[in-house]
């Protein structure tokens, strides 16, 4: 081999080795990312114990706000405690609020629900508005089988329909199956009140029928 061919072969080998290294680095992470959803349970969205059918009961029962009095990452939590905590407690008397200061620890929210579930939210370096939104999320969400699970569908019913989903032809007369479209009779607007012209035409036709019946009776009597 001459010098030029040797340089080409060495460059190809170097590129293949570098490519194998990159693939070796990426493949484990790619496998984890692609297979992570396989370990999630699948469920349908549903309210615990049919909550909301009668009187709504807030599922959040206790929330604990942990923060540091001096650390900079807890600035947003301290602002929330100073400005918004009292209003939140007044608006939600059924939720018990605990404030727990901790030295040199990041800000954390811990929420406990009626079914015994507990969720944590890391509030380090979060602003006051972000913390207020997270508190609202913890207050309004409901835990249960669908919490932290992969949703199969965005709706669920305990009693599925026997006749299937509704369509515009569900309650129509069977004659529409063999009708020729476009049809003037089927194309009329349904449920529209009669106009004055249509009312007068019906009265005129009724008078004609009455006149025809009277003339027939007189001819028969004569």
Q: What pLDDT, on a 0 to 100 scale, did the predictor assign at position 79?
A: 95
Q: What pLDDT, on a 0 to 100 scale, did the predictor assign at position 150?
A: 76
The CA-atom distances, in angstroms, between 221 and each of 113, 217, 218 are: 91, 6, 5
Domain membership flag for residue 100 = yes
Domain membership flag for residue 92 = yes
Q: How many domains does one find in the chain? A: 1
Q: What pLDDT, on a 0 to 100 scale, did the predictor assign at position 160?
A: 79
Element (H, E) at 79: helix 75-83
Identify the segments of the chain with pLDDT beneath 50: 1-4, 7-8, 12, 17-34
- Residue 47 near residue 142 (C-beta atoms within 8 A): yes
Residues composing the chain = 222
Element (H, E) at 12: helix 3-35
Distance CA 42, CA 205 (A): 66
Distance CA 114, CA 144 (A): 10
Which domain range does residue 134 map to? Answer: 58-141
Distance CA 188, CA 106 (A): 68
Q: What pLDDT, on a 0 to 100 scale, did the predictor assign at position 20?
A: 45
Q: What pLDDT, on a 0 to 100 scale, did the predictor assign at position 2?
A: 47
Local structure of 151: helix, strand or coil? strand
CATH code for the domain of 74 = 3.40.30.10
Domain membership flag for residue 222 = no
Domain membership flag for residue 11 = no
Domain membership flag for residue 134 = yes
Q: Which tokens go with 125?
A: 């370096």
Contacts of 67 (CB under 8 A, 6+ apart): 74, 77, 78, 81, 99, 100, 101, 102, 107, 123
Domain membership flag for residue 42 = no
The CA-atom distances, in angstroms, between 200 and each of 184, 185, 188, 189 are: 22, 21, 19, 20
Contacts of 139 (CB under 8 A, 6+ apart): 58, 60, 63, 92, 95
Domain membership flag for residue 3 = no
User: From the CA atom positions of the chain, what is the Rg in Å?
Assistant: 37
Domain membership flag for residue 21 = no
């Amino acid at each position: 081999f001459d010098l030029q061919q040797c340089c080409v072969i060495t460059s190809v080998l170097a590129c293949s080795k570098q490519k194998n290294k990159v693939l070796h680095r990426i493949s484990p992470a790619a496998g984890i990312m692609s297979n992570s959803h396989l370990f999630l349970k699948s469920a349908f969205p549903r309210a615990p114990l049919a909550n909301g059918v009668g009187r709504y009961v807030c599922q959040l029962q206790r929330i604990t706000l942990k923060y540091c009095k001096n650390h900079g990452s807890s600035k947003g939590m301290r602002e929330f405690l100073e400005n918004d905590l009292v209003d939140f407690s007044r608006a939600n008397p059924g939720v018990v609020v605990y404030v727990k200061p901790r030295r040199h620890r990041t800000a954390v929210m811990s929420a406990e629900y009626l079914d015994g579930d507990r969720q944590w939210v890391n509030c380090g370096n979060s602003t006051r508005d972000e913390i207020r939104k997270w508190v609202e999320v913890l207050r309004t969400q409901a835990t249960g089988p669908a919490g932290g699970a992969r949703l199969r569908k965005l709706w669920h019913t305990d009693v599925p329909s026997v006749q299937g989903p509704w369509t515009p032809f569900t309650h129509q007369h069977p004659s529409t199956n063999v009708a020729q479209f476009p049809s003037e009779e089927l194309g009329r607007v349904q449920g529209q009140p009669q106009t004055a012209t249509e009312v007068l035409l019906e009265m005129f036709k009724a008078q004609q029928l009455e006149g025809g019946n009277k003339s027939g009776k007189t001819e028969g009597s004569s």
